[in-house]
Amino acid sequence: MKYLKIIGQKKLSGDVKISGAKNAALPLLASTILAKNSVTIGNLPNVVDINTLLKLLEMLGSSYSKTDNNTIEINTSKIHETKATYDIVKTMRASILVLGPLLTRFGHCEVSLPGGCAIGQRPVDLHLKALEQMGAVIEIKGGYIHATAPNGLQGATIVFDKITVTGSENIIMAAALANGTTKIINAAKEPEVVQLCEVLKAAGLHIKGIGTNELEIVGTKQELLEFKNFDIIPDRIEAGTYLCAAAIANTRLNITHIIPMHLDAVLSKLEEMGFSILKDETSVTLLPAHTIKSVKIVTTEYPGFPTDMQAQFMALATQANGVSIIDEKLFENRYMHVNELLRMGADITLQGHTATITGTPNALTGTDVMATDLRASSALVLAALVASGETNIHRIYHLDRGYENLEEKLMAIGAVVKRVDE
């Protein structure tokens, strides 16, 4: 096992180039199950979760080649398996994204129940209910979802009780090859969902309402789609994380290869905290604050403040003057980073899903801490950048799931970071 050793309080400056979005790449890789041709995908982040899904697609019978670290050509025409086994699904719950495409293309599939994870129970009941409304017969047996639709899925009107990102993505893909038209009401409209819709539209799918909470998809009656090649959109959460690195160190940093409008909620919160933001069409520069002000944050679906940025802003709030409040509305247990921040000297109290952070600028001290989930780990990295002395972050496999070349990007802007054997 490896851990990350970070020496705090180094001056940070320079540029960070953002990678492709993991949460766009995962549904898009799954969507190639709907393709009749080989598809070349660019700006693919070289992170563990992407390689896990590629391994699953290969186990099902797909083949792919990496033309470079961030470009692959994938062909799923030879898929002969429709079972996503526990050993791979347990390592990444987003494997559930093969359920919709496999079922709509083959009329049957078995996908291991993903189980919960550190941030919550994370059920998939809304995915399954929607598929049943489209005519699927779903049986949960032996920890697996057994799904059949012998005559293909039927178009239906789906109203999601809660906005679910991968639930929306699964049903968009299921509807693509269904018989008839599917309406999805209360669909997620995150940029990652939008790109999935755009790629499917470019492949010839008739889809209306892209970017809204209401989608209408005319299924092709099991006719596979002719995909165009595409590049993955930039990762707005990675970009937000590095903007928080600039903010917590209260220094100027330039973040490039991004779509600034995907970060509007994050940028407005940074401005509320006293930072200035310069932006052009593909980059954002954060300028230091005279004093870092406290902030109130409520996480919600896009375009509101993203839950995936909550932990990072909690670390930042430890440097603010005054008391900040964070209300985590999406997940029931997304405060695993609090205990570790407390060990570094932060002053945080929890009341249900509300965290109160009393700023203690420049008071964090380095120590041994443990990563628990992807975004909690990034909060610990941010805290370590401003803590006095040395911080060792253990279980950094969590970080490797979603942050490409983390050490290299941090060292390039002046941080002192080293990956060490336990």
Active site residues: 117
331 lies in the site for ligand EPZ, by CB under 6 A: yes
State the binding string over 272-291 for ligand EPZ (x if CB under 6 A, else -): --------------------
State the binding string over 374-403 for ligand EPZ (x if CB under 6 A, else -): xx--------------------------x-
**Other Cβ atoms closer than 10 A to 323:** 14
330-to-257, 266, 313 alpha-carbon distances in Å = 28, 17, 16
Nearer to ligand EPZ, 308 or 404 (CB): 308
CA distance linking residue 351 with residue 254, whole number of Å: 36
134 lies in the site for ligand EPZ, by CB under 6 A: no
CA distance linking residue 259 with residue 409, whole number of Å: 19
263 lies in the site for ligand EPZ, by CB under 6 A: no
* Among 36, 162, 206, 419, contact with ligand EPZ (rule: CB under 6 A): 162
* Among 238, 308, 340, 404, contact with ligand EPZ (rule: CB under 6 A): 308
Distance of closest approach, residue 132 Cβ to ligand EPZ, in angstroms: 12
164 lies in the site for ligand EPZ, by CB under 6 A: yes
Instruction: Return the residues of window 21-80 that contact ligand EPZ according to CB under 6 A.
Output: 23, 26
Q: Please choose, out of 146-154, 157-165, 272-280, 389-397, the segment that lies near ligand EPZ by the rule CB under 6 A.
A: 157-165
* Backbone CA torsion sign across 48, 53, 58, 63: negative
Q: How many CA atoms lie within 13 A of 152 on its CB side?
A: 16
124 lies in the site for ligand EPZ, by CB under 6 A: yes
299 lies in the site for ligand EPZ, by CB under 6 A: no
CA distance linking residue 24 with residue 236, whole number of Å: 10
* Among 72, 176, 314, 330, contact with ligand EPZ (rule: CB under 6 A): 330
* Among 33, 94, 267, 311, contact with ligand EPZ (rule: CB under 6 A): 94
Distance of closest approach, residue 250 Cβ to ligand EPZ, in angstroms: 26
262 lies in the site for ligand EPZ, by CB under 6 A: no
Nearer to ligand EPZ, 309 or 364 (CB): 309
CA distance linking residue 341 with residue 362, whole number of Å: 13
Q: How many residues bind ligand EPZ (CB under 6 A)?
A: 22
CB contact at 8 A, 360 and 388: no
* Among 8, 167, 260, 366, contact with ligand EPZ (rule: CB under 6 A): 167
Residue spans of beta strands (DSSP E) within 130-205: 137-141, 144-148, 157-159, 181-185
* Among 43, 62, 82, 166, contact with ligand EPZ (rule: CB under 6 A): 166
**Other Cβ atoms closer than 10 A to 219:** 23
Distance of closest approach, residue 26 Cβ to ligand EPZ, in angstroms: 5
Identity at 74, one-letter amino acid code: I
304 lies in the site for ligand EPZ, by CB under 6 A: no
Q: How many CA atoms lie within 13 A of 386 on its CB side?
A: 26
Place of tokens 């570094």: 344
191 lies in the site for ligand EPZ, by CB under 6 A: no
CA distance linking residue 41 with residue 107, whole number of Å: 27
Burial label, 245 (beta-carbon count in 10 A; 0-12, 13-18, 19+): buried
CA distance linking residue 303 with residue 358, whole number of Å: 27
CA distance linking residue 23 with residue 343, whole number of Å: 31
DSSP letter at 322 equals S
Residues at the site binding ligand EPZ, with contacts judged by CB under 6 A: 23, 26, 94, 120, 122-127, 162, 164-167, 307-308, 330-331, 374-375, 402
